[in-house]
Amino acid sequence: MEDQIDQSKQEMDHLMDGSRSIIFGKYEMGRLLGQGTFAKVYYSRDIKNSESVAIKVINKDHVKREGMMEQIIREISIMRLVRHPNIVEIKEVMATKQKIFVVMEYVKGGELFAKVANGKLKEDVARKYFQQLISAVDFCHSRGVFHRDLKPENLLLDENENLKVSDFGLSALSEQLRSDGLLHTQCGTPAYVAPEVLRKKGYDGAKSDIWSCGVILYVLLAGFLPFKHDNLMKMYRKVFKGEYEFPPWFSPEAKKLISKLLVADPEKRITISAVTKIPWFIKEFSRSSSFSSIEENNTDQKQESKEPSLGNRSKSAPPFYNAFEFISAMSSGFDLSSLFEGKKKSGSLFTSKCSASTIMSKLESLAKKVNFQIVSAKEFKVKMQGTSNGRKGKLSVMAEVFEVAPEVTIVEFSKSAGDTLEYKKFCEEDVRPSLKDIVWTWQGENKGHD
């Protein structure tokens, strides 16, 4: 592994001197697309399939000095969580001792802002972008993610003129809510930020995102901002009061929708669910069927492809877990791919010193305790299903027991069906507390093995 690090460092040095560079034996680095305070983004090409990608190269030392590592990790985690046709896709994350490489979908159509800068859009074009924006934001909210910096500069267009939400650097996860159930960090771009965010008194992330969507729709149709003034404080006062005027070319239906979005009182502001029922919005609207996270996309394939190597082992013994997979899954070292790559273990995995039969019994007890039905329990696999419908039907979970050594066993949970956020909540609130007496170490937690 150290050889790989040294090789990757040499590859990056090669990149910096301007010559052709292949990093990690997978990507050919190309021209610089842009750079910010902590990172540079390069156009790159996947050598295996010639697919164009964008690679964000982040300097670890710089990020650590500025105390921004947590924000970088959060942004990567969020992008991995929210995979949707209208959100820039994160493909994988790699790292050396000095740098983090975030491989993302290459969106070559530029910013939506560039289109608006040339003037207002036709209503049907603006509606299409707004529909795609709402679809993406609705999906983020279903995953407990609030963007908090929605604006045309963070909305990209692909070669087919489809919108892609980007820049999750200021996004918040639902676990960041304080005890009052609200977010308290003031962030975003003033012209697009909801009044409750500016007041610094705590706010609902979903409702503040809706306000930003309203400002964006206004800008797409008007070609300029609803709240604008040379004096920032005077602009704030307009925002606080929700004071703006409609240009004469706005249709009555568009005016009606915007007037429901740009409501200063967040409690009276329209919800996304209500927006999607408005006739103006649903005109020529086709909801994509691919609203899924990376974990969901991989689950079925993983279930079908996993064939335990039993060899001559008896059916009464659990399958042997490959030692390399075990080390990769439980490692929390410098290689971030074990944390973020979709093909790696999902985090619902632990080691135990208990026997396989004891663990199987405990899993069956867990199912009864949380009111899940046991669909099947054989060959060291337990499949359980919830009795109530969630966002995507009934949650179905598979727990599988593997033997690493005679005194070490691994238990891996995976989702067979249902909503990913509900599955994660099930793992945190039901699985962990119920199984704590048989757990030695959870994936990614650095406990001493004595």
Q: Which residues are annotated as a binding site for ATP?
A: 56
Q: What is the largest CA-CA distance in the chain?
A: 79
- Contact criterion met (CB below 8 Å) for 151 and 212: yes
Distances (CA, A) of 59 to 49, 65, 72, 202: 28, 10, 11, 33
Name the DSSP letter for residue 153.
G
Q: Output the CA torsion 349→353→355→361 (10° steps).
A: -50
295 membership: H or E segment, kind and range: helix 294-305
Token duo for residue 141: 């909210």
Binding-site positions: 56
Q: Phi then psi for 413, rounded to 5 degrees?
A: -100, 145
With beta carbons less than 8 A apart as the criterion, state whether 395 and 385 touch: yes
Residue 174 near residue 154, CB atoms below 8 Å: no
371 phi-psi bin (left φ>0, alpha ψ -120 to 50, beta other): left
Residues contacting residue 152 through CB under 8 Å, at least 6 positions apart: 111, 112, 113, 116, 216, 219, 220
CA-to-CA separations, 1 to 116, 157, 197, 235, 319, in angstroms, rounded: 48, 39, 46, 55, 27
The tokens for 348 are: 């619902």
Residues with Cβ within 8 Å of 149's Cβ and at least 6 positions away in sequence, in order, are 167, 169, 170, 171, 187, 188, 189, 192, 212
Q: What is the C-alpha to C-alpha distance for residues 343 and 292, in angstroms, rounded to an integer?
A: 15
Beta-strand ranges (E) seen in 150-249 are 155-157, 163-165, 172-173
Residue 149 a catalytic site member: yes
Cα 118 to Cα 132: distance, rounded to the nearest angstrom? 21
Neighbouring CB atoms inside 10 A of 66's CB total: 11
Q: 149, 204, 209, 419: which one is catalytic?
A: 149
DSSP string, 335-384: -THHHH-TTS--S-EEEESS-HHHHHHHHHHHHHHTTEEEEEEETTEEEE
Secondary structure (DSSP) of 377-416 = EETTEEEEEEEEEEBTEEEEEEEEEEEEETTEEEEEEEEE
Q: Which residues are catalytic?
A: 149
